[in-house]
Amino acid sequence: MTFDVEAVRAQFPILSRQVNGRPLIYLDSAASAQKPQAVIDAMTAAMTNSYANVHRGLHTLANETTEAFEAARKRVAGFIGADPNEIVFTKGATEAINLVASGLGQSLVAGDEILLTEMEHHANIVPWHFLRERQGIVLKFAPVLDDGRLDLEGFKALLSARTKVVAFSHMSNVLGTVNPVADMVSAAKAVGAITLIDGCQSVVHLDVNVRDLGADFYVFSGHKLYGPTGIGVLYGRSDRLEALPPYQGGGEMIADVSLDRITYADPPHRFEAGTPPILEAIGLDAALSWLQDQDRPAAALHEHALYERAIEGLTGANWLKVIGSAPGKGAILSFNIDGTHAHDLAQILDQYGVAVRAGTHCAEPLMRRFGVTSSLRASFAIYNTEAEVDAFVDALNRAQAFFA
Express each pLDDT in 222-261 by its tens digit.
Answer: 999 999 999 999 999 999 999 999 999 999 999 999 999 9
Q: How far apart are CA 32 and CA 200, in angstroms?
A: 10
What's the mean pLDDT in 291-319? 97
Percent of the chain with pLDDT over 90: 97
List the one residue out of 284, 375, 367 whose CA is nearest residue 322. Answer: 375
Q: How far is CA 190 from CA 139, 185, 219, in A?
A: 19, 9, 22
User: Could you give the 3-state DSSP secondary structure of residue 115?
Assistant: strand
pLDDT at 2: 78
What's the mean pLDDT in 312-339? 96
Q: What is the mean pLDDT of the chain?
A: 97
| Helical residues (DSSP H) of 123-277, grouped into ranges | 126-135, 152-157, 181-190, 202-205, 210-213, 238-243
| Helical residues (DSSP H) of 244-385, grouped into ranges | 278-292, 296-313, 342-351, 364-369
pLDDT at 404: 72
Contact predicate 293/313, CB 8 Å: no
- pLDDT by residue (tens digit) across 368-397? 999 999 999 999 999 999 999 999 999 999
- pLDDT by residue (tens digit) across 158-175? 999 999 999 999 999 999
pLDDT at 198: 98
Contact predicate 274/252, CB 8 Å: yes
Q: How far apart are CA 274 and CA 250, in angstroms?
A: 6
Q: Tell whether the model's pLDDT for residue 89 goes beyond 90.
A: yes
pLDDT at 288: 98
List the one residue out of 75, 127, 79 whose CA is nearest residue 103. Answer: 127
List the one residue out of 235, 191, 239, 264 whose CA is nearest residue 99. Answer: 235
Q: Tell whether the model's pLDDT for residue 1 goes beyond 90.
A: no
- pLDDT by residue (tens digit) across 183-228? 999 999 999 999 999 999 999 999 999 999 999 999 999 999 999 9
What's the mean pLDDT in 285-297? 97
Q: How far apart are CA 111 and CA 114, in angstroms?
A: 10
Tell me the residue type at 133: E
Contact predicate 276/297, CB 8 Å: no
Q: Tell whether the model's pLDDT for residue 310 goes beyond 70.
A: yes
Which residues are tagged catalytic? 362
Task: Sketch out the chain's domains with CATH numbers.
Answer: 5-31+295-403 (3.90.1150.10), 41-292 (3.40.640.10)
List the one residue out of 86, 87, 100, 126 whose CA is nearest residue 245. Answer: 100
Contact predicate 89/55, CB 8 Å: no
Tell me the residue type at 218: Y
